[in-house]
Amino acid sequence: MPVPLHPPALQLAARTARIEPFRVMELVKRARALEHAGRSITHLSIGEPDFTAAPPVVAALKAAVDAGATGYTAALGLHALREAIARHAGDAHGVDLDPARVVVTAGASAALLLACCALVDPGAQVLMADPCYPCNRHFVSAFDGVPVTIPVGAGSRFQLDAATVAAHWTAAVRGVLLATPSNPTGTSIAFDELARLVDVARARGGFTLVDEIYLDLAYGHRPQSAVALGSDVLVAGSFSKFFHMTGWRLGWLVVPPALVDTFEKLAQNLFICPSALAQHAALACFEPEAMALYRQRRDEFQARRDYIVPALRELGFSIPVEPDGAFYVYLDCSAFTADSSAFASQMLEEAGVALVPGEDFGSHQPQRWLRLSYATSLAHLHEAVQRLRAWLPPRTASPG
């Protein structure tokens, strides 16, 4: 049969219209195109560590390949890995976590998707901060739920608080999605406030889903995990950031004991299992040699933060809340521009510095903000500051 030259367009599901492009990826595409054309670009846009997995993890991957450990695993993940994740929660955050509650997933992305699949009915609302990680809205929309973004500002460290969540809770709300430390602001929720947030959702029969993908990248304090706040709290984690394994696609979700079977059923059908090779390799993350290296690299991130935050302030940006985790700074660029999107494009094209405009993270004053990722070397950060010093236009207003 001949293949039709102009087949009719397929009718798309309505939800696709509610899912916006992941703009940082578009920006990275443009930055790469400029590099291909011979330009030198300083990348401060993507939230991806410049480090790779620790040597014991790479060795464990090679050993797993050689041993032919490439078949499907259990849908919930390798038992030994679930145990190791639970042990890490105890060692790093002092919580007693039953490994049976750990579901290993293809990154925190699959963890958040699974949680929405299990908990969000069509039309159900999920509360989240604005600004927040852009995919959060789309995880909810993918199951025909309704993401409700609540503007947050410097006064609450760019995070939701219990009173605000209580004020926005209606009969249509099914739960709240939090991230601490947050992307794009690098700020954490104080633990007592997190406990109050959980209480607000619990008292209304709703769920609390806490994204702790950056929890091990906390500076100046020992982070506490939402796992400690009750077995009804769902908590997502990942090997992407602290363990520098972004492309390996491995994370986890801690689920309430009574829901393990439901999550197993969903994981079996939607994913079969997470990558077997990545799981075997990830076991080595928790070996003392690897953990020592990861902690050393966390200190390196902290040193980068300690350099870049004052340097940006000195350039004229306002940073109203000191970031205390992850590898992001949320900058107020209103001293230079009323349009952070145009400003970011111009900065990329003219100064060769790639930052992400606020519009990627929500609709609350996005034109005032830029996100800088310091998941890159100090040398690159110095270079970026030099380029910006030479490029920045005169200030038109005082920041803030």
Ligand X SMILES: Cc1ncc(COP(=O)(O)O)c(C=O)c1O
- List contacts with ligand X (CB under 6 A): 47, 107-109, 133, 179, 183, 211, 213, 238, 240, 246, 251
Q: How far is the CB of 29 from ligand X (least distance, A)?
A: 17
Q: How far is the CB of 181 from ligand X (least distance, A)?
A: 9
Place of tokens 């100046």: 220
Nearer to ligand X, 227 or 385 (CB): 227
Nearer to ligand X, 112 or 200 (CB): 112
Nearer to ligand X, 92 or 128 (CB): 128
Q: How far is the CB of 260 from ligand X (least distance, A)?
A: 21
Q: How far is the CB of 115 from ligand X (least distance, A)?
A: 12
Nearer to ligand X, 244 or 387 (CB): 244
3-state secondary structure the chain: CCCCCCCCCCCCCHHHHHCCCCHHHHHHHHHHHHHHCCCCCEECCCCCCCCCCCHHHHHHHHHHHHCCCCCCCCCCCCHHHHHHHHHHHHHHHCCCCCHHHEEEECHHHHHHHHHHHHHCCCCCEEEEEECCCCHHHHHHHCCCCEEEEEECCHHHCCCCCHHHHHHHCCCCEEEEEEECCCCCCCCCCCHHHHHHHHHHHHHCCCEEEEECCCCCCECCCCCCCHHHHCCCCEEEEECCCCCCCHHHCCEEEECCHHHHHHHHHHHHHHHCCCCHHHHHHHHHHHCHHHHHHHHHHHHHHHHHHHHHHHHHHHHCCECCCCCCECCEEEEECCCCCCCHHHHHHHHHHHHCEECEEHHHHCCCCHHHEEEEECCCCHHHHHHHHHHHHHHCCCCCCCCC
Give me the residues paired with residue 208 across strands.
176
Q: How far is the CB of 278 from ligand X (least distance, A)?
A: 11
Nearer to ligand X, 139 or 336 (CB): 139
Nearer to ligand X, 42 or 45 (CB): 45
Provide the b/e sequence for 223-253 (b: ≥16 CB within 10 Å).
Answer: bbbbbbbeeebbbbbbbbbbbbbbebbbbbb
Q: How far is the CB of 207 from ligand X (least distance, A)?
A: 17
Place of tokens 């367009």: 9
Q: How far is the CB of 307 from ligand X (least distance, A)?
A: 22
Nearer to ligand X, 251 or 325 (CB): 251
- Give the nearest residue (CB) to ligand X: 107
Nearer to ligand X, 108 or 293 (CB): 108
| 207 contacts 183 by C-beta, under 8 angstroms | no
| 373 contacts 357 by C-beta, under 8 angstroms | no
Nearer to ligand X, 244 or 280 (CB): 244
CA distance 398 to 13: 46
What are the phi and psi torsion angles at 17 (to 5°)? -70, -20
Nearer to ligand X, 242 or 286 (CB): 242
